[in-house]
Amino acid sequence: MSENNTIFGKIIRGELPADVVHEDDHVMAFRDINPAAPTHILVIPKRYIVNTLTADSDDKELLGHLVLACAEVARKEGLDGYRLVINNGESAGQTVFHLHAHVIGGRSLSWPPG
């Protein structure tokens, strides 16, 4: 595992501020600085994983915890529905190369997105 010098690594280490809405030993959740909806929260593992393409079987428990943390954040925010998005790789729109899930809600979301 390489050193995590991403913006999310800096947030985890407390080097950059974030509006944290949930944190435990394994994940941190904070408001997106450029929200796509009234509620847009990023949930990240504290252990550095680039994306699900680089995850392996040792990450299985952490990935499950991440998804459950997303649901907990959505409940805390009072969402009755939300979209959970994980972009994997540059061609999929990943811009920060530290695994993160977007919890997006607070308005009607159409499909397909865009």
- Domain 7-105 bears CATH identifier 3.30.428.10: yes
Give the DSSP letter of residue 51: -
Structure tokens at 56: 């392996």
| Collapsed DSSP state (helix, strand, coil) of residue 109 | coil
Q: Which residues are catalytic?
A: 100
Give the pLDDT mean for 58-87: 98
pLDDT tens, position by position, 96-107: 999 999 999 999
Give the pLDDT mean for 60-65: 98
pTM flag (> 0.85): yes
- Are 41 and 77 a contacting pair, CB within 8 Å? yes
CA–CA distances in Å: residue 24 to residues 3, 44, 61, 90? 21, 11, 14, 28
Per-residue confidence (pLDDT) for residue 3, from 0 to 100: 79
| Collapsed DSSP state (helix, strand, coil) of residue 58 | helix
pLDDT band at 114 (very low <50, low <70, confident <90, very high): low
pLDDT tens, position by position, 2-47: 579 999 999 999 999 999 999 999 999 999 999 999 999 999 999 9
